Structure 1
């Protein structure tokens, strides 16, 4: 089942050369783990709440590869290039399979008092 790295990145005060370097180098850190960009800085259409900044979504074959990518020496070596200049949040999350049924999920949650 696919897993995702989602980053909510706030606008930087100003562009920085290290951010460009990060962008140039990140794909090489993703390749060994099967990571691919699904969303990368496209305009966000906010329908509820607020969303200052942009969204980056990277798909991995499974959560193990997402974790291994984030913890890899190659990614940790470049992480500061972005994090020092663009504040944000990053989460890793499992996706759902093609047979996902939200009504069945609600029924299970209700039965378990969740």
Structure 2
């Protein structure tokens, strides 16, 4: 049986693009690399087909395990830059476990 992947799914509304793209993104990329995260989805082209949500941007990150996704988010390195994201966007974030393949 294989270990499930871990995911962080985010619905974002970037409210300060300068801070988000010029400060937060360059700061988060090396931390994501340290945790071997992969961007599966990063798009502003979101079409909600059901429900009443107004979603501006979707991010889906894949990690080697749910534990690695958790460790990334709660790492000191990420927590040290989290304020950049909080000041430059609003978000709904989800930590998800992938399907175990047997």
TM-score range, shorter chain: 0.7 to 0.9
Say which SS state the counterpart of residue 24 (structure 1) adopts.
Answer: helix
Structure 1 portions without partners, runs of 5+: 100-114
Name the Cα RMSD after superposition. Answer: 1.6
- Deviation at residue 11 of structure 1 after TM alignment: 4.2
More RCO (CA 8 Å, sep 6+):
2
Query: Equivalent residue for 1:31?
Result: 33
TM-superposed CA distance for 1:40, in Å, is 1.0
Cα separation, 2, equivalents of 1:92 and 1:70: 9
Higher strand share: 2
2:88 and 2:48 map into 1 onto residues whose CA distance is 24
Structure 2 runs not aligned, ≥5 long? none
Counterpart residue number, 1:3: 6
The Cα shift of 1:52 comes to 2.6
* Number of the residue aligned with 2:86: 83
Scaled by the length of structure 2, the TM-score of the pair is: 0.84
Q: CA deviation at 1:34?
A: 1.6
The number of equivalent residue pairs is 97
| Cα distance between partner residues in 2 of 1:43 and 1:98 | 31
Q: Please report the TM-score for the alignment, with normalisation by the length of structure 1.
A: 0.76
Local SS of the residue matching 1:59: strand
Larger Rg: 1 or 2?
1
Q: 2:42 aligns with which of 40, 43, 47?
A: 40
